[in-house]
Amino acid sequence: NAGVTQTPKFQVLKTGQSMTLQCAQDMNHNSMYWYRQDPGMGLRLIYYSASEGTTDKGEVPNGYNVSRLNKREFSLRLESAAPSQTSVYFCASLGGGNQPQHFGDGTRLSIL
């Protein structure tokens, strides 16, 4: 049981390049989330998808877009990467009820 799988694990981009981070879960969860983690700031929600076919902005959505391709997959796209988007990105999923979110291993993204 893989849980939440993120690809790639590491990526270096130049300013202005585009990039899609992939996330897939095999737990049949309805809700999925993208967070970014920066030192001293905890994790902040970028976008979320409460169910297949819906997406909504979180706390820090500027510069990002998302696609809920199907129930399993939720991708995060940087159209024109900026150095301020250097961060570690975590995808998570939630099945509902009194359950915690399950997190992927993260993608470490550096933008030069």
Q: Give contact residues for another protein (rule: CB under 8 A).
A: 31, 33, 35, 40-45, 48, 50, 56, 58, 90, 92, 94, 96, 98, 100-101, 103-106
CB of 93 to another protein, least distance (A): 10
CB of 108 to another protein, least distance (A): 9
**Three-class secondary structure of residue 84 per DSSP:** helix
Which one, 14 or 98, has the nearer CB to another protein? 98
Q: Taking the CB of residue 18, how many other CB atoms lie within 10 A of it?
A: 10
Name the DSSP class of 73.
Answer: B
Which one, 57 or 77, has the nearer CB to another protein? 57
Which one, 18 or 54, has the nearer CB to another protein? 54
Residue at token pair 């270096």: 12
Give percent helix, percent strand, percent coil of the chain, each to the nearest 5. Answer: 5, 50, 45
Which one, 14 or 42, has the nearer CB to another protein? 42
